[in-house]
Amino acid sequence: MVQGTASHVGKSRIVEALCRLLADKGIRVAPFKAQNMALNSAVTWDGKEIGRSTAEQAAAARIRAQVEMNPLLLKPKTDTTAQLLVMGKPYGDFTAADNFKHALKLTRFKRQIIQAALKKLASEFELIVIEGAGSPAEVNLRRFDIVNMDVAKFARASVLLVADIDKGGSLASLVGTLALLKPGERKLVKGLLLNKFRGDLDLLRPALSFLRRETGIPVLGVLPFHRGLDCLAEEDALGHEVVGDPTPDIDIAIVYHPHLANFTDFGPLAMEPGVRLRYVRTPRFLGNPDALLLPGTKNTSGDLLHLHRTGLFQAIRSTARKGIPVVGICGGYQMLGKRLLDPSRLESATPELEGLGLLETETTFRVEKQITPVAATPVGNGPFLAGIHCRIDGYEIHHGLTKRLNHLKPAFQFSAGGRKKAPDGAVSQNGRIFGTYLHDLFSNDLFRRNFVDVLRKRKGLPPLNLPLVNIRQETENAVDGWASVVAENLDIQNLLRFKNNV
């Protein structure tokens, strides 16, 4: 089990590397994270929603992701409310007060779900690499922490404790975390790992000796700061506000919603030559991009009101009136329409909100959540969608049902399980604005290149006369490269030989 002294120390990426290394040794290995809190999610082959980082770890293990790998998922809707998904399906919305009031009952319920999922994985795989969450030493949450030491004890897992040395304070974090653990928990920690190190390792060696003397636990590795992960999606938080080519031909702006979800949809665009992506929080920094993208959100109504408060609402409409292409995915698609109707008050206390009015659509929020892997083909008009013959594999995750009004054309034709579904999305009459529920749209190499070439043509630039960027292969190369770094700098054999008899 990989645990950390804090969030964002690199646990997810280390689990990903271990899954690849062990799979390549011929071991049937699976990742596991009892509960994740993230707005980046993925859909399994059978229509269950799990954390995207866990799905990527499964891919690194060269297996198909399944819901037992992440049985509990929390998706924040507001600062104090989150939707709980149990075994890939919505279970209910809970506030922080609800969690406290029903903490013991919820803890028992969650523990049963976690243990059942872990047992099923254990019956199917030779080895499980478990990821913790946050820190195991949050004393105020210890009674209710069912994702760290609780899982380690149940699974009899050897724990590798990770600290991020790049942030500073890593020695104190490791020593302090171990000091706050109970004696029985501390015995489970078999190794320490320092991640994201820059500099001369010889200068660090006295610190490694100190850690061994102070804790009695060996430092099993020091991982260098690795820059080869740019094409891999961030786990659950935006890594950089600007990505891609620093001297771009094509400048793409992305609206940063407070409840931004599945922003990984746009990352592949930054892999195209000459393209820069930048996230925009206020009208001041919007400028005159070559395209404007509206990503998904876990709270469409709340984020639409945020656009009003910040002035981005009018700025987006002004951008569209200039003829700049605008694309919305999922919640962003819903915002592009004329109205958002919420009769059951699922997202806000307001039953009806005015949308941006850039597409003749109307969205009604429903209790039932659509979670489906789909294949899509472009069927819309305009330069981005017309004449593009490709199959785009992706997924849809949404509560809303969006209707096209006034004979507006759809953007895509969906199919699932080999059967046609209702047409998806909508495209404006001039083809410059379109919206869709299709996540992973820009992961298709042909569609993404055509999108960029259309933007280039609009600026009077020639099309990219270069081979398509193979995102799948680039991702595989990045995972292999990172796994090699971990293999060179972590004593994996020593870690694997530890056994716990709990």
CB atoms within 10 A of CB 34: 27
Average confidence (pLDDT) over 321-340: 96
**Per-residue pLDDT reduced to its tens digit, 254-263:** 999 888 888 8
- Taking the CB of residue 343, how many other CB atoms lie within 10 A of it? 10
H, E, C per residue of 270-296: HHCCCEEEEEECCHHHCCCCCEEEECE
Q: Sign of torsion, CA 82 86 88 92?
A: negative
Q: What's the topology of domain 242-470?
A: Rossmann fold (3.40.50)
Q: How far apart are CA 426 and CA 328, in angstroms?
A: 10
For residue 232, the model assigns a pLDDT of 61
- Report the pLDDT value the prediction gives residue 43, as an integer from 0 to 100: 93
pTM for this one? Answer: 0.90
Report pLDDT digits (tens) over 216-236: 999 999 999 987 665 565 555
Judge whether residue 326 has pLDDT over 50: yes
pLDDT at 92 over 90: no
Domain boundaries, the chain: 2-230, 242-470
Confidence of residue 152 (pLDDT cuts 50, 70, 90): very high
pLDDT confidence band for 117 (50 / 70 / 90):
very high
Is 330 one of the catalytic residues? yes
Tally: H helices and E strands in the chain: 14, 27
Query: For residue range 436-493, what is the model confidence (pLDDT) as tens digits?
Result: 999 999 999 999 999 999 999 999 999 999 999 999 999 999 999 999 999 999 998 8
Amino acid at 328: G
- Give the whole-angstrom CA distance, residue 85 versus residue 106: 13
CA distance 216 to 231: 38
Architecture of domain 2-230 in CATH?
3-Layer(aba) Sandwich (3.40)
pLDDT value of residue 502: 44
Q: What is the pLDDT of residue 499?
A: 61
Q: How far is CA 234 from CA 37, 130, 185, 473, in A?
A: 14, 19, 30, 18
Q: What is the DSSP string of 158-203?
A: -EEEEEEGGGS-HHHHHHHHHHHS-HHHHTTEEEEEEEEE-S-HHH
Q: Is 490 helix (H, G, I), strand (E, B) or coil?
A: strand
With a cut of 60, say whether residue 131 has pLDDT above it: yes
Tracing tokens 């979800």 back to the chain, one arrives at: 261
First vs last C-alpha separation in the chain: 14
pLDDT above 80: residue 69: yes
Report the C-alpha gap between 16 and 28 in whole angstroms.
14
pLDDT on residue 99: 62
**How confident is the model over 268-324, as pLDDT tens digits?**
999 999 999 999 999 999 999 999 999 999 889 999 999 999 999 999 999 999 999
pLDDT of residue 97: 66
Question: Residues 257, 259, 330, 398: which is the catalytic one?
Answer: 330
Exposed e or buried b for every residue in 389-426, given b needs 16+ CB within 10 A?
eeebebbbbbbbebebeeebbbbbbbeeeeeebebbbb
pLDDT at residue 351, rounded to an integer:
85
The chain-wide mean pLDDT, for the chain, equals 92
Structure tokens at 426: 């909508």
Give the distance from CA 428 to its chain's centroid. 29
* Stretch 371-399: mean pLDDT: 94
The residue type found at 460 is G
Residue 70 has a pLDDT of: 98
Q: What is the pLDDT of residue 417?
A: 83
pLDDT average, residue stretch 117-143:
94
Can you tell me the mean pLDDT for 85-113?
Answer: 83
**C-alpha to C-alpha distance for 346 and 341, rounded to whole angstroms:** 10
Would you state the structure tokens that stand for residue 295, as one six-digit string?
């990503």
* Structure confidence by residue, pLDDT tens digits, 164-221: 999 889 999 999 999 999 999 999 999 999 999 998 899 999 999 999 999 999 999 9
Residue 100: band (very low, low, confident or very high) from pLDDT cuts 50, 70, 90? low
DSSP string, 16-63: HHHHHHHHHTT--EEEE-SEEE-S-EEE-TTS-EEEHHHHHHHHHTTS
What per-residue confidence (pLDDT) applies to 291?
97
> What pLDDT score was predicted for residue 325?
97
Cβ atoms within 10 Å, residue 6: 18
Min mean pLDDT across 55-64, 152-161, 221-230 is at: 221-230
Judged against a pLDDT cut of 80, whether residue 109 lies above it is answered with yes
Let me know how long the chain is: 502
